[in-house]
């Protein structure tokens, strides 16, 4: 499977997906740590992809997403944004509302 096809499959199969450095339990950069903490605090199930163990995805996703940095939060196939946007939405209560609504539409 081509890298772009893998990315599209991951995004379509996970209503809430975080591309990050490391894992939710062991983030490998400060930006990923802050973003995943915000998503975890929304208390909804989500998928993640460690781009450090997937160098092909790390190389191709920025082109596919037209977004140069990581982490990247994808919700229902749409790129929400990176760390700053995720944190800003969380602080306003927007992230919690969005992720709760999406999780209710896609019961695990």
Binding site members for glutathione? 21, 58, 70, 83-84
> Which parts are annotated binding residues for [2Fe-2S] cluster?
29
Which residues carry a binding-site annotation? 21, 29, 58, 70, 83-84
The token duo for 4 is: 């772009």
Whole-angstrom Cα distance, residue 85 to residue 105?
Answer: 23
């Amino acid at each position: 499977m081509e890298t772009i096809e893998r990315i599209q499959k991951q995004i379509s199969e996970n209503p809430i997906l975080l591309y990050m450095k490391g894992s939710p339990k062991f983030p490998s950069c400060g930006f990923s740590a802050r973003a995943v903490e915000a998503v975890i605090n929304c208390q909804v199930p989500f998928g993640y992809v460690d781009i450090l163990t997937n160098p092909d995805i790390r190389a191709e996703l920025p082109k596919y997403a037209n977004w140069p940095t990581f982490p990247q939060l994808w919700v229902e196939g749409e790129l929400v944004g990176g760390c700053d946007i995720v944190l800003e939405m969380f602080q306003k209560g927007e992230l919690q509302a969005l992720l709760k609504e999406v999780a209710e539409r896609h019961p695990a």
